[in-house]
Amino acid sequence: MSQLKVGCCGFPKGKKKYFQQFKLVEIQQTFYKLPSVETAKKWREESPLDFEFSLKAWQLITHLPSSPTYRKAGLKIPAESRSNYGFFKPSEEVFDAWAKTRDVAQALKAKVIVFQCPARFTPSRENMENMRRFFSNINRENFIFVWEPQGEWSDGIITALCQDLDLVHCVNPLERTMLYGKTQYFRLHGGRDYRHQYVDDELARLQELSGNDAYILFNNLTMYEDALRFKELMGSKG
């Protein structure tokens, strides 16, 4: 039985209308600034029983305070502790950010947590060691951890880290080959400016690349329309 699930990164329409069309959404708000556990529980209660949430891990884990995404979220980090945030650093601040991310994920009853890294997170020895220490020291419980690297990471390094740390390699499969993971987790960003609308040939190719256990998340400006078209193409109820 196919477990393919289709949805959007965030709610491009009102929740009620969205719930009528899809059974999956990736929460983006959790990356910028975590909602309260109470808010996450409310979202869970508002959704259908068979609806699934995934979410992006809080940026305090993956991004440095110099990232413009901190400013967008209105996060103000004290100067004396700025060096303790982001890039999976083995700090109290990063592990606290993970604990808060985990609590929201549990409230949503989410299975998947996405760790999206910026291009500035390069395959340096320090960064890779930080990843190993982070994922080896947190309780992963029953979560599926998805890693989306950007920038110049070689296939060999990505594969080795994913194998060692049990991470699903997240890609746009129309642009890069997924290298590791029993589950597929695809994020289609619509190019650098999110404006690309996927044409029928691309959606047909995406169908060919999608296995039975796959999450397909659209993250472009026309995500709602593209996801509906893809769902129709797949004949999927997800």
Residue 16 reports pLDDT greater than 70: yes
Q: What is the average pLDDT across 44-71? A: 97
Residue 238 reports pLDDT greater than 80: no
Q: Does domain 5-234 have CATH number 3.20.20.410?
A: yes
Please report which confidence band the pLDDT of residue 2 belongs to, taking 50, 70 and 90 as the band edges: low
Please report which confidence band the pLDDT of residue 212 belongs to, taking 50, 70 and 90 as the band edges: confident
* Amino acid identity for residue 29 in this structure: Q
Whole-angstrom distance, CA of residue 73 vs CA of residue 152? 27
Q: List all residues 6 or more positions away from 171 whose beta carbon is below 8 Å from its beta carbon.
A: 148, 177, 178, 186, 187
Query: What pLDDT score does 3 carry?
Result: 76
Instruction: Tell me what the pLDDT averaged over the chain comes to.
Output: 95
From the list 130, 161, 137, 136, the residue with the least C-alpha distance to 148 is: 161
Task: State pLDDT tens for residues 216-230.
Answer: 999 999 999 999 999
Classify 10 in phi/psi space as left (phi over 0), alpha (psi -120 to 50) or beta.
left
Please report which confidence band the pLDDT of residue 237 belongs to, taking 50, 70 and 90 as the band edges: very low
User: Per residue in 34-73, is it b (16+ CB within 10 Å) or e — as a string?
Assistant: bbeeeebbebbeebeeebbbbbbbbbbbbbbbebebbeeb
Query: What pLDDT score does 192 carry?
Result: 82
- Name the token pair of 9: 């990164």
Query: What pLDDT score does 81 carry?
Result: 96
Task: State pLDDT tens for residues 119-156.
Answer: 999 999 999 999 999 999 999 999 999 999 998 999 99
* pTM of the predicted structure, to 2 decimals: 0.95
Residue 236 reports pLDDT greater than 80: no
Query: What pLDDT score does 1 carry?
Result: 38
Instruction: State how far the alpha carbon of 78 is from the alpha carbons of 87, 99, 178, in Å.
Output: 17, 20, 38
User: Interior CA angle at 195 toward 115 and 179, to 5°?
Assistant: 35
From the list 33, 110, 115, the residue with the least C-alpha distance to 73 is: 33
Residue 22 contacts residue 237 (beta carbons within 8 Å): no
Task: State pLDDT tens for residues 61-92.
Answer: 999 999 999 999 999 999 999 999 999 999 99
Whole-angstrom distance, CA of residue 4 vs CA of residue 231? 10
